[in-house]
Amino acid sequence: MPPQPIRKRTRGKLSHLDARGRARMVDVGEKPITDRVAVARGVIKMKPATLRLITGGEIAKGEVLGVARIAGIQAAKRTSEWIPLCHPLALSAVHVDFTPTGRDRIAIEAEVRVSGKTGVEMEALTAVSAAALTIYDMCKAVDRGMVISELCLLEKRGGRSGVYRHARVAKKAALRR
């Protein structure tokens, strides 16, 4: 069967499917290069004692949040190897931050930047995921019941679709006004 022509994306259609519903990588060749930013967030819930061990530097495998930060950065850089239809990108910056919230949670936030033809939402989400999984790996000897949750895209800027803000971010921005 001859290859089907790649069709332009139309609003409301899935861009990673061709006319026959087969997966394909989106052609970004005609898109302009723009500055793009994505911010993602997730949470890992654990026993309060586990959080105390992490913040006190008492986990036997080492400095948990430092290693998790490196894992998140590394994962963002290699997202196209994890997610089959992602384009490989030369990222400009990746920041991964951790905030203990309450007595039993760590919020993980990643911001990824690029000047390119496609966005970095998947890179930000992958960075948060890898950081959370690294925390789990390093702490599982003391707490196998940790739960990774609330993974979401908080914000994206740049490209043809412009700005997106998750309801959580939009609500905080409205409260600051």
pLDDT of the residue at 9: 44
Residues in Cβ contact with 137 at an 8 Å cutoff, skipping those fewer than 6 apart: 61
Average pLDDT over residues 113-130: 96
pTM > 0.75: yes
pLDDT digits (tens, 9 = 90+) for 52-91: 999 999 999 999 999 999 999 999 999 999 998 899 999 9
Average pLDDT over the chain, rounded to an integer: 89
By annotation, the residues acting in catalysis are: 137
Average pLDDT over residues 27-44: 91
Average pLDDT over residues 125-141: 98
